[in-house]
Amino acid sequence: MEWFNSHLLTALTFLPLVWALFGTFLPVKAAKHWAFAGSLLVFLVSLKLYFEYDPSGAEFQFIENTEWIPGLGVNYSVGMDGISLWLLLLTTFLSPLVILASYNGVEEREKEFYTLLLALQTGMMGAFVATDVFLFYVFWEAMLIPMYFLIGIWGGKDRVYAAMKFFLFTMVGSLLMLVAIFFLAYQHKLQFGSFSTALLDLYKVKLDGAGYFSTQGILFLAFALAFAIKVPLFPLHTWLPDAHVQAPTAGSVILAGVLLKMGGYGFIRFAFPLFPQAVATYQHAFLILGSIAIVYGAWVAMVQPDMKKLVAYSSVSHMGYVVVGLFSLNAIGATGSIYQMLNHGISTPALFLLVGMLYERRHTKEIKEYGGITKVMPLFAIAFMIATLSSVALPGTNGFVGEFLILLGVWKANPALAVVATTGVVFGAVYMLWMFQRVMFGPITKEENKNLKDLSPREMVVLAPLMIAIVVMGIVPNFFFEKMEKSVAKLLERTAKVEMVAAAGPRKDGK
């Protein structure tokens, strides 16, 4: 118990994986219950993090540090600040819901399915707690494998194509990041006499940062490419719609809910403080790409005939907000972005789950196959409406808080682009409400739809926490801001300050 308390993050991170390994000894029938119990346990234990995290400090807490590859200066070191806290909790919160939602949909190779889901959870949590850049990379890559198989084995008709596309895009981006990590470790050796991949050590490395293709600039691009693909940022987004359409519901939920957040998290945790001058150099380029993503994603979402593809493109648009918010480089925009990541991690999973529930009933995701569903599924309609409103950022839902802060932050950084980004408010309403209208309203035109069953109790249990979260996060955002305010401020301060210090010589404050 004492070990557990002093190694809380490690214990939590690996609990799903270990739990899954034990599960392989159980009969197939028990697989889903075992997985659900495990993920629920992880969620409950992770709440401990919320209560024990001290928001008055900005630095990593729950720190653990063990030597791993001494020759390269790689340590197994984990820690958590106010930003990772919420992303971790998002991960542990979504996992049981996803598993419960898969109870009926997954009928083949169940044991493998749930084992992979739990392994994936370990990978995601690890990436959020890693404070060693190489360790982060390992978790980052480790997440790929289970996801690849989830899409490739339990996906739809073109699952292999989609899985490969997902794999290729992500792989290409992350290899360059790996090179950049080694380069950084080497620079540390040149400047301080030893290899190191510890994030806090690398902050101290002095790099030439003048111009687009300075050392900082190139290293930043190597990191940024990996993160931009993951977000995904226009024009690197085309793997996402395919991956979503082919992935099973659980895959889509995890992909949209957590994996995409890795990109945004990577930017603020690694790319920003490591390469502050480059960030300032490329700020407006990313603001432009993000603004394009917002509008482009919304427009293309509007014309999609497939519900999942529509939601996938809506993710491109929503994650565009995250990017512009982060690159506003001020506290309002960055806080809004992190909040928007959490929001998107609630509302988009809700939408994918809802689409999945329709799919389980009718085995199609084509919008034109539906119409008038409200009549036969009124409770489903309520949940769908709430998720839709969150997606269109109606005040009172979580979406508004994020978008409002992001746009205000961008306004301070670049008013012209804020105007472009704000048009997303209009187009976002267009594609969501139009889909809602075509699926839920009007007369029931298809015979098959006349006897669809409304939500089952299990489905209600899956959806209810998300619906509650949508409203709660819209009304009391301060509850979330309180824990992360200091951490965000600290990271931004680093991003801004290192710039000046770097010009004057190596940093002396040691952080």
Partner 1 sequence: MLKWIPLLPLIGFVINGFWYALFQSRPGAKKAGATIPGVIATGAIFGSFLISLRVFFYLKGQAEDARIVEETFFSWMKIGEFSLDMAVRIDSLSTLFTLVITGVGTLIHLYSIGYMSHDATPGKFFAYLNLFCFAMLMLVMGSSLPILFLGWEGVGLCSYLLIGYWYEDIDKAAAGKKAFIANRIGDFGFILGMFLIYTHFGTLEFSKITELLGKGEFTALLNPAAVTATCLLLFLGCTGKSAQIPLYVWLPDAMAGPTPVSALIHAATMVTSGIYLLARLNLLFSLSHTAMAVIAVVGAATAFVAATIAIAQNDIKKVLAYSTVSQLGYMFLACGVGAYGAGVFHVITHAFFKALMFLGAGSVIHGMHEEQDIQKMGGLRWKMPVTFVTFLVGWIAICGIPPFSGFFSKDEILWNVFANPHGNKLLWIVGLLTAMMTAFYMTRMFYLTFMGAPRFNEAKLGANGHGDDHGHGHAPKGVHESPALMTIPLVVLAILSIVGGFIGIPHMSWLEHWLSPVIPAHDPTAFTAGNTVEYALMAVSTLAALGAILFALKTYSNLKVAAARKQKHSRLHETLENKWYVDEAYEAAFIQPIYELSVKLWKGFDVGVIDRVVVGFGRVSQWTGQAARTLQTGSIQVYAIVLLFGLVLTLSYLIKGFI
Residues 139-158 interacting with partner 1 (rule: CB under 8 A): 141, 144-145, 148, 152-153
C-alpha span between 183 and 32 (Å, rounded): 44
Q: CB-based contacts of 192: which residues, under 8 Å, 6+ apart?
A: 201, 204, 205
Hey, which residues between 226 and 265 contact partner 1 (CB under 8 A)? 235-236, 238-239, 241
Nearer to partner 1, 6 or 437 (CB): 437
C-alpha span between 383 and 463 (Å, rounded): 7
Task: Return the bridge partners of 80, or none.
Answer: 61
Q: Is 407 in the site for partner 1 (CB under 8 A)?
A: yes
Distances in whole angstroms, Cα of residue 231 to Cα of each of 29, 79, 306: 36, 23, 22
- Choosing from 254, 256, 401, 462, the residue that interacts with partner 1 (CB under 8 A) is 401
Nearer to partner 1, 156 or 442 (CB): 442
Region binding partner 1 by CB under 8 A among candidate stretches 197-205, 247-255, 352-360, 375-383: 375-383
The conformation of residue 17, written as its DSSP 8-state character, comes to: H
C-alpha span between 227 and 263 (Å, rounded): 4
Hey, which residues between 427 and 446 contact partner 1 (CB under 8 A)? 429-430, 433-434, 437, 440-443
C-alpha span between 250 and 99 (Å, rounded): 7
- Choosing from 19, 62, 166, 169, the residue that interacts with partner 1 (CB under 8 A) is 169
Quick one: tokens of 180?
A: 């950049």
The conformation of residue 232, written as its DSSP 8-state character, comes to: T
- Choosing from 44, 419, 464, 468, the residue that interacts with partner 1 (CB under 8 A) is 419
Residue 4: CB minimum distance to partner 1, A:
31
Using DSSP, state whether 283 is helix, strand or coil: helix
Please calculate the CA angle 267-270-272 and round it to the nearest 5 degrees.
60
Using DSSP, state whether 300 is helix, strand or coil: helix
- Choosing from 10, 304, 337, 398, the residue that interacts with partner 1 (CB under 8 A) is 304
Q: Is 57 in the site for partner 1 (CB under 8 A)?
A: no
Nearer to partner 1, 64 or 485 (CB): 485
* Contact pattern from residue 313 through residue 342 relative to partner 1, giving x for each residue in contact according to CB under 8 A and a dash for the rest: ------------------xx--x-------
Residues near partner 1 (CB under 8 A), total:
78
Q: Is 300 in the site for partner 1 (CB under 8 A)?
A: yes
Nearer to partner 1, 209 or 372 (CB): 372
Within 13 Å of residue 362, how many CA atoms lie on the same side as its CB?
A: 24
Residue 345: CB minimum distance to partner 1, A:
19
Residue 446: CB minimum distance to partner 1, A:
14
Residue 376: CB minimum distance to partner 1, A:
5
Using DSSP, state whether 499 is helix, strand or coil: helix
